[in-house]
């Protein structure tokens, strides 16, 4: 996707890196990146919008 099509998301490129690195949510997602199975779980949850559907998709019950 070209940069000019990002709309409001393009504003994120202007946030100082220090502010991003210190954000607790960014820190948490960075920690998830160290465990691929946790990233799969986050992806499934974001894709389905439901813990129950994400668990079903991942065959975790």
Range(s) of the domain holding residue 48: 21-61
Q: Is residue 38 part of a domain?
A: yes
On the question of pLDDT at 57 being above 80, the answer is: yes
Residue 3 has phi, psi (to 5 degrees) of: -55, -40
Element (H, E) at 52: helix 51-58
The pLDDT of 4-8, averaged and rounded, is: 86
pTM of the model: 0.56
**Residues 11-53: tens digit of each pLDDT:** 888 999 999 989 999 999 889 889 989 889 999 999 999 999 9
> Residue 1 pLDDT > 90, yes or no?
no
Q: Is residue 3 part of a domain?
A: no
Predicted pLDDT at 23: 93
Q: Is residue 55 part of a domain?
A: yes
Number of domains in the chain: 1
Give the pLDDT score at 56: 95
């Amino acid at each position: 996707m070209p940069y000019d099509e990002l709309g409001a998301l393009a504003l994120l490129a202007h946030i100082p890196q220090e502010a991003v690195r210190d954000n607790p949510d960014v820190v948490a997602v960075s920690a998830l990146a160290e465990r691929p199975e946790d990233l799969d779980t986050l992806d499934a949850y974001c894709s389905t919008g439901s813990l129950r559907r994400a668990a079903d998709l991942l065959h975790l019950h």
